[in-house]
Structure 1
Amino acid sequence: MRTYFILALLVLSNSISAQTPEEKLKALNIVLPAPSSPVANYVKFVKTGNLIFLSGHGPAKADGSYITGKLGRDLSIEEGYAAARQTGISLLSTLKAAIGDLSKVKRIVKVLGMVNGTEIFVDQPKVINGFSDLMVAVFADKGRHARSAVGMASLPMNMAVEIEMVVEVED
């Protein structure tokens, strides 16, 4: 019985790891929205060589507004985590527009997570984990990345978080 159980786990893990990033998004009930337009004089991404540099994105809601407020005053760590996850969805939308197929991702290389927090808020890593956990769920080991999670006195439009990332892609 134990051998059967181990064999079943191996088959299950192989089928999960064989899923494409797009299949994983579907399994997570995530539909990527159309990428938004830049809000100022910049572009959403720049490709140089096999690297894509994605500009800072915020936690956009379906109506085009953002999840706003300061962590430690207006929002809980859990709400910040959800905002960081939502920001990850926005970044994936832009990334897909940039490369066409998320299966081309070789690795999420570097992430800068900025948290709009009070001067005494110190749980920025717990908030940005909402983004990091999503990248690992979608890309498995390719989603593990170097990361900075820092606090900010304010962010544009009072967004709860802003995240930028660098992604290595196949040529």
Structure 2
Amino acid sequence: MSDPIETRLAELGLTLPDAPAPAANYVPYVISGNMLYVSGQVSMGPDGFITGKLGQDLSVEDGAAAAVACALSLLAQVRAACGGDLSRLKRVVKLTGFVNSTPDFTDQPKVINGASDTLAEILGDAGRHARSAVSAASLPFGVAVEIEGIFEIA
């Protein structure tokens, strides 16, 4: 493993899933110049969708774990967009995180920190990014979290 990102993933005991296929009429990513726009990745683990509503069914910690799963799917899409070469990833520019939550739940930023912290841990300063974390009344398939991303690539 000569790719430093792949090496770092292995050091952290993290494995990227296969890049998920689109669930509707859209493409998983679009490259424009050196910018890569990745469609929203829903929370999915080895056993399927990570579902539930924050503030009702899930704790902040559960939501943060779901956001980690989204971050790994985002990186899987980056790898696919870069022809399998994660070393082309220069930086994470922006994430937009959607949290399936009750009207009175206000810890969306803490949930999306699961993804932000993971990307910073894997990529260092290149993983630090601009971000939005917002509530959603519901998300596709009842998932807990969905995150889309903008990346700079070589």
Please, what TM-score do these two structures have when normalized by structure 1? 0.86
For structure 1, the 5+ residue unaligned runs are 1-18
Q: Deviations over 1:100-120 (max 9, x none)?
A: 222211110011000000000
For structure 2, the 5+ residue unaligned runs are none
Aligned counterpart, 2:125: 141
Q: Deviations over 1:37-87 (max 9, x none)?
A: 111010100000000000000111224x21001000000000000000011
- 2:78–2:89 Cα contact (<8 Å) kept: no
SS, match of residue 83 in structure 1: helix
Matches within 5 A, 1:1-171: 20-63=4-47, 65-99=48-82, 100-170=84-154
Q: Structure 2: how far apart are the matches of 1:125 and 1:34?
A: 27
SS, match of residue 165 in structure 1: strand
Q: Name the one with the larger helix percent.
A: 1
Moved beyond 2 Å, runs of 4+: none
Q: Name the one with the larger strand percent.
A: 2
Q: Structure 1: how far apart are the matches of 2:62 and 2:35?
A: 31
Larger Rg: 1
Identical pairs, percent:
51
Q: Structure 1: how far apart are the matches of 2:56 and 2:43?
A: 18
Q: Deviations over 1:139-159 (max 9, x none)?
A: 100000000000011111111
Q: Structure 2: how far apart are the matches of 1:102 and 1:114?
A: 25
Opposite residue 99 of structure 2, the aligned amino acid is V
Shift of 1:33: 1.6
RMSD of the TM alignment (CA)?
A: 1.0
- 2:92–2:152 Cα contact (<8 Å) kept: yes
